[in-house]
Amino acid sequence: MSRLRPLLVALGLLAAWQAVCWASGAPPYILPDPLRVARALWGRADLILPHAVTTALEILSGLAIGTALGAASALLLAASRRAREWVLPVLVVSQALPVFALAPLLVLWLGYGLPSKVAMAVLIIYFPVTTAFFDGLRRTPEGWIELARVMDARPAAILWRIRVPAALPAFASGLRVAAAVAPIGAVVGEWVGSSSGLGYLMLHANARMQTDLLFASLFVLCLMALLLWHAVDRLLRRLVPWPSEPLHPA
Amino acid sequence: MQPAEPAPALHLEVERLAFEGRTLMEGLVLDLPAGRTTCLLGPSGIGKSTLLRLVAGLLPGAVRSASDGLPLEGRIAWMAQSDLLLPWLSVEDNLLLGYRLRGARGTELARARERARGLLARVGLAERARALPHQLSGGMRQRAALARTLVEDRPIVLMDEPFSALDAITRHRLQDLAAELLTDRTVLLVTHSPLEALRLGHEVRVLDGAPARLGPPLRPAGTPPRIADPALLAQEAQLLDALAGTSVPPLEAAA
C-alpha cells in the first residue's frame, strides 16, 4: 500500500484537475486538461528536451558551485575567529536583500546565457548551505573535543577528523534545501532574460497562448526538481548513514 | 596489562578556583599514588568532574607534576561517562582515534591496530570490530570506550563515572574487567557509588564542603577488584552515611 501511495495521490490530483476542467468549462488556452498536456508533452518533446537540458545544466552547475562556496565559507568561519567577526554580520545582512531582485542585474552583468542563471542559483543555494554547515561545525559535542584534546590532537586535526564529520548531517540537510531551491533560482534567472531553458519556453508559450506547452514544460521542470532532490537525498543517506545526534549527548 | 612505561605518581595543587564568583576549591592538594587506583567520591555538584578535568589539563587553574619530573603531555588517557564513540567510525577505527588524530601512519599505526584488535578481544568485541557504534548496545559501547582508553597505552588514566550509565550486571562485569586491565597504571576514578569506589580503589577519597576539600585517604583491605563481602558492604554503609550526613550543598550548587 505504501508503495502505491504516490501513484494514487498522482492519479487523484489528475482526476481533480480533469474535474475542474469539466466543471468550469474553461477554454484550453486558460486551463488545458491533462490529456491535452500529455499530448503537448509527447508531440513537442523535440522542442522541450533541449530547453530542459539547458535548465538542468544551470541547476547542476549552480548546485555544485553554490555547495562548494558554501562549504568553503562555513569552514573558513569555523576555523577563524577573525573571519567570524568580519564576515558573519555581512553574511546575515546580505540575506535581508531579496535575491530575486538581483536577477535583472545579473543578466545585465553576465548576459543572457548560462552564467547569469548559474549565478542566480548559486546566490540562492549559498546561504542555506553555509548556515547549515557552519551551525553543524559550531555544535560539535564538547565531549568529543575534550577527548581529542586529551589525545593531544592539534586544532587542525580536531577540525578535519571530528568537527567536519560531526557536522556532515547538518551539512546534508542544508544540501537537501539547496537541491530543492536550486531550480527556482535557475528559472527566475531565465524569466528575467534568456534565449533558452524551460523558464524561457514557458514565457514564450504563455505569450502565444500555448498553455498546454506551458503546462508540459512545468511538468518537466517539476520532474527534474523531484529527481534531483531524490538523487541528492539517496546520495546523502549513503554518505551519512549514522544518526545525526550522538547516542549519549555529551 | 602492563603499561609501556612505569606509571608515575601525580601531584596536583589548586590554589583557588572560582566559578561565577563562587569559590569551588581553595588550597586543594591531590596526590595519586603511582600505579594505584584512586577513587574520588562526593555529592553531585561538588566538583569531582572539575577536579578530574584539572588533572587532565582540560581546565586551567591547577599546578600538576609527575613524580618522575617529566611533563604530563602525552601520558594521560581519559574516559568519560558517555562513551564518546564517533558515530561515523567503526569500533576498530574508534579505538585508533588517538593515533589518527596525532597523524600516526605506517608501522606505528599497524602496531596500534594490532594492539586495538587484542584489546577488542579482551573486552569481547572482536566480532564487532567493523560495526558502527549505533549498532551496539550501551554496554558494548562502554566496553569499546574502555578499550579505546587502553589502546592509548598511557601510564595515567582518568575516568569520569565511566560505568554509571550501565545496568547493574554490565557495570559489575566492566568494573572487574577495568580493574584487571588497569593494573599498574596510575588511575583516578570519579564515581558517585561508594561500592564501586570500595571495589576498585586502592585509595578512596571523599570530596566535600564548600569550598570543596579532600578527606583523608581510606584504604580498604585487599587488592581490587574486591568482592562485595559483608565487611565491604559495611564500609559502603558508613561511606553513604558520611556522604549523606555531611554538609549537603545548597541546591544551586548541586546543579
> Residue B4: is its pLDDT beyond 80?
no
Residue B245 forms contact with A (CB below 8 Å): no
B88·A248 Cβ contact <8 A: no
- Whether A122 maps to a domain, the answer reads yes
> Residue B250: is its pLDDT beyond 80?
no
Judge residue A178's burial from the number of C-beta atoms within 10 Å of its C-beta, 0-12 exposed, 13-18 middle, 19 or more buried. buried
Residue B151 forms contact with A (CB below 8 Å): no
B85·A243 Cβ contact <8 A: no
Domains and CATH numbers, chain B: 10-75+155-254 (3.40.50.300), 89-153 (no CATH)
- Whether A174 maps to a domain, the answer reads yes
- Whether A183 maps to a domain, the answer reads yes
CA nearest B98 in A: which residue?
A151
**Omega before A89 cis (within 30°)?**
no
Cα angle A197, A200, A206; round to 5: 140
A165·B88 Cβ contact <8 A: yes
CA nearest B137 in A: which residue?
A247
Nearest beta carbon to residue A150 from set B76, B83, B103: B76
- Whether A26 maps to a domain, the answer reads no
Listed in sequence order, the residues at least 6 apart from A145 whose beta carbon sits closer than 8 Å to its beta carbon are: A158, A162, A163
Q: What is the pLDDT of residue B247?
A: 47
Q: Which residues of B touch A146 (CB under 8 A)?
A: 53, 56, 58, 78, 80
- Whether A94 maps to a domain, the answer reads yes
HEC secondary structure over chain B: CCCCCCCCCEEEEEEEEEECCEEEEEEEEEEECCCCEEEEECCCCCCHHHHHHHHHCCCCCCEEEECCCCCCCCCEEEECCCCCCCCCCCHHHHHCHHHHHCCCCHHHHHHHHHHHHHHHHHCCCHHHCCCCHHHCCHHHHHHHHHHHHHHCCCCEEEEECCCCCCCHHHHHHHHHHHHHHCCCCEEEEECCCHHHHHHHCCEEEEEECCCEEECCCECCCCCCCCCCCHHHHHHHHHHHHHHHHCCCCCHHHHC
Q: Which residues of B touch A144 (CB under 8 A)?
A: 84, 86
- Into how many domains does chain A fold? 1
- Whether A15 maps to a domain, the answer reads no
- Whether A140 maps to a domain, the answer reads yes
Q: What is the pLDDT of residue B246?
A: 55
> Residue B252: is its pLDDT beyond 70?
no
A147·B134 Cβ contact <8 A: no
- Which alpha helices (DSSP H) does chain A contain, by range? 5-24, 34-43, 45-79, 81-94, 103-110, 114-138, 142-150, 155-158, 164-192, 198-207, 211-239
Q: Residue B142 and residue B83: Cα distance in Å, rounded?
A: 5
- Residues B123-149 have a mean pLDDT of 91
CA nearest B142 in A: which residue?
A248
- Whether A231 maps to a domain, the answer reads yes
Instruction: Give the best residue of B76, B84, B163 to mutate against chain A (max A CB count within 10 A).
Output: B84
Q: Residue A169 and residue B135: Cα distance in Å, rounded?
A: 18
A250·B82 Cβ contact <8 A: yes
Q: What is the pLDDT of residue A138?
A: 93
**pLDDT digits (tens), chain A, 250 positions:** 778 898 999 999 999 999 999 999 889 888 999 999 999 999 999 999 999 999 999 999 999 999 999 999 999 999 889 999 998 888 888 888 888 888 899 999 998 889 999 999 999 999 999 999 999 999 999 999 999 999 999 999 999 999 999 999 999 999 999 999 999 989 999 988 888 999 999 999 999 999 999 999 999 999 999 999 999 999 999 988 887 655 444 4
CA nearest A161 in B: which residue?
B101
User: pLDDT digits over B169-223, tens only?
Assistant: 888 888 888 888 899 999 999 998 999 999 999 999 999 888 888 888 888 888 8
Residue B133 forms contact with A (CB below 8 Å): yes
Which tops the pLDDT comparison, A161 or B231? Answer: A161
A151·B101 Cβ contact <8 A: yes
ipTM of the complex: 0.86
Confidence of residue B122 (pLDDT cuts 50, 70, 90): confident
| Identity at B56, one-letter amino acid code | A
CA distance A89 to chain B (A): 30
Judge residue B31's burial from the number of C-beta atoms within 10 Å of its C-beta, 0-12 exposed, 13-18 middle, 19 or more buried. middle
Q: Residue B211 and residue B18: Cα distance in Å, rounded?
A: 9
Grid cell 547538518 — which residue? A170
A147·B84 Cβ contact <8 A: yes
Listed in sequence order, the residues at least 6 apart from B188 whose beta carbon sits closer than 8 Å to its beta carbon are: B10, B32, B37, B38, B40, B52, B55, B156, B157, B158, B159
Cα angle A104, A106, A108; round to 5: 70
> Residue B242: is its pLDDT beyond 90?
no
B100·A241 Cβ contact <8 A: no
User: Residue A165 sits in a domain of what CATH number?
Assistant: 1.10.3720.10
A150·B58 Cβ contact <8 A: yes
Residue B58 forms contact with A (CB below 8 Å): yes
> Residue B103: is its pLDDT beyond 60?
yes
Q: What is the pLDDT of residue A244?
A: 65
Taking one residue from A and the other from B, the number of pairs with CB-CB distance under 8 angstroms is: 77
A151·B102 Cβ contact <8 A: yes
> What is the extent of the structural domain holding A117?
34-239
